[in-house]
Amino acid sequence: MSAPHIPDLPDPWLRRFRPRPEAKVRLVCFPHAGGSATYYHALAQSPALMPTAEVLAVQYPGRQDRRKEQLMDSVPELADRITASLTPYDDRPLALFGHSMGAVLAFEVAQRLRERSENQPHWLFVSGRRAPSRFRRGTVHLLGDAELVDELRRVGGTDPRFLNDEELLAEIIPVVRNDYRATEEYRWSPSSPLRCPVTALAGDRDTQAPPDDVAAWRQHTDGPFDLKVFSGGHFYLDAHRQGVTDVVSEALVRIAGRREPVRGTAQ
């Protein structure tokens, strides 16, 4: 549950596990429901991103070193706070990567960055999440504790040791329930499409985010669009870390090699 080391950034919302002052691009990563910034620790250390990108990981309130802070169950409010925290770091091209709940937040932050600057963001990666236009009512946050734990076992992504430890469960359950409430009560407000490229990633057996629903992200950008489907369920990326890293790295190299973000019609 503890972070690998003390983060070097003063902002509580962001973690930087490996500073790369020479990097031309910053990749901002958004965790899933119940997740923390350390989920992206391995990605931040990946040789595939050297020296192109520096990874910043978002740390939501209520977990790890922020565990004593009040939880936030509003996607728009979270997006507002995260966008403000990114202000000192938008001196370089920003790319955003989010998985599940993180994909929704990355999308909302991308919209706010676009309103603030025509040159940001330069790329959006959305993983394991149906497009905002594919609304489906969710009730997981209303489940009892035992049923919620069963759901966590079913979708994966949580260390089974945590789910078998009553003391750890007492910390995990309120955080997970809060995050599910945030995503299940989120409603997309139709707006003009993004202008940056969007890459959507999905597991072919993900019942929460079937590939057809993930493909609908195409409607949310006027820029190039690509869909990558991997074998697996909701946390397919745990088994395909290198494949996902390669997809991201290829895009970041493209960003680093140009001065202006890609624009154009969806493909």
Q: Are strands 198-203 and 123-127 parallel, antiparallel or unpaired?
A: parallel
Q: Do 55 and 42 form a contact (C-beta atoms < 8 A)?
A: no
For residues 13 and 1, what is the distance between their CA atoms, to the nearest angstrom?
17
Strand partners, 202: 229
Is residue 221 classed as helix, strand or coil in its secondary structure? strand
For residues 29 and 254, what is the distance between their CA atoms, to the nearest angstrom?
18
Identify the active-site residue in 36, 85, 100, 249.
100
Question: Residue 74 catalytic?
Answer: no
Question: Distance from first CA to last CA of the chain, Å, rounded?
Answer: 41
Question: Residue 36 catalytic?
Answer: no
Q: Do 224 and 197 form a contact (C-beta atoms < 8 A)?
A: yes
**Token duo for residue 189:** 């407000």
Identify the active-site residue in 32, 234, 240, 249.
234
Active site residues: 100, 234
